[in-house]
Structure 1
Amino acid sequence: MRIHLFIIAIFFYTQNILAGETITSNGVKVELLVIQQNEIIIAKTEIVNDGKSDVYVYKPQLPILKKDKNSADVYYELCGSMFKIISNDIIVKYVGDRCHYGGNDNDSSYWSKIRPGEKLTSSVNLNDMYSFPAGRRNYVIGIRYDFVNDAWFTKKVKEEHKEGKTYLNREGNSNEFTVSSNHYKIEIDGDILKSRYEYIDRLLRK
């Protein structure tokens, strides 16, 4: 019974992710481009605010810049499974790190402002954080972000003050929204993929 329900869930999720093109909500859109460069899969995202007012994207959903202590390489890493990657009935598993920001996510410092006309771009290597199976397969890849507007910080919220910062109670607030990217279709050769961790491992073995 559990397997049957799991198959049904995958079917409806797959239909949903295949259904739409880029959706604009409150003047915000998310463009996704995925390319395979030999043994690396690069996902580039661009959040565009075409609206007339500021919006705020949830920072824990954005890639963070890191520096590898073994190779001194600089790279971007996710704080959790942000991308949804599907090939037929397979959902590619996230194997990357998970960040714990701590504190209260209602803290305004958890949100990154995007002004009207501004773009926020990022790029990550998907094969560092997702376990792609071997062989050539067709994939559908998508991502979505959570946003709030200025009214979210001022309307229908209860302010609390702690250590000089403002914390806000989101309960009952409707000034938050989610924007999904276009769903990018790509053929990926899993036989030649190499993660950053394999590269570092080779360096350490020399």
Structure 2
Amino acid sequence: MGNTFSNIGVYVVGILGILYLFAVLMRFLLQLARADFYNPISQGIVKVTNPLLLPLRKVVPGFFGIDMASVVLALLVGLVMILICGLLAGGVLLNPLSALLWSLIGSVSTVIAVVFIGLLISIVASWIAPNSGHPALILLHQLLEPFCGPVRRLIPQLGVIDISPIFVFILLTVADKLLFGFAQMANMPPFAYSLFWHIPGF
């Protein structure tokens, strides 16, 4: 019975934590991409993250236009997730510095997964709704441009076919594999690794 309650606790903390981490990372990525602040989805993300992010901005300044407060908040959310789930899963108080490193690995992995899945959605949407003005698709396009734009400038189109997403997929997959290897080198526990999002199939 004790293990059951522990597993439920890990599940609940993991779900709530990753959803909030997703919101924080989305805010960071959207700001990095200079996406439409007034998009209704952007506004929803702002409302969810403001209560913790605004106080943090008072002590964590930006850096060359990068919202470092969002980065710090993402790391703290991942850190809390790992520490709480470590206690629930095995009753172990983990080293906070190690947990912070694992949080960084997990956050980067989640960013890779978000971009990977977002690119898949964008490709499917371009087939079934090529001229859609839906706010979610507009925001998704703006979010992906910093990742796809540089590759598109290097890789020429084949007529009207944009093949840059293929190379972005390859780069993301390689990055995910390297990150997994780094997680093993950092002795990241399987339970901590599983708390974060990863590219499907990896």
Give the TM-score normalised by the residue count of structure 2: 0.24
In our comparison, the structure showing a higher alpha carbon Rg is 1
Give the structure with the larger helix fraction: 2
Give the structure with the larger strand fraction: 1
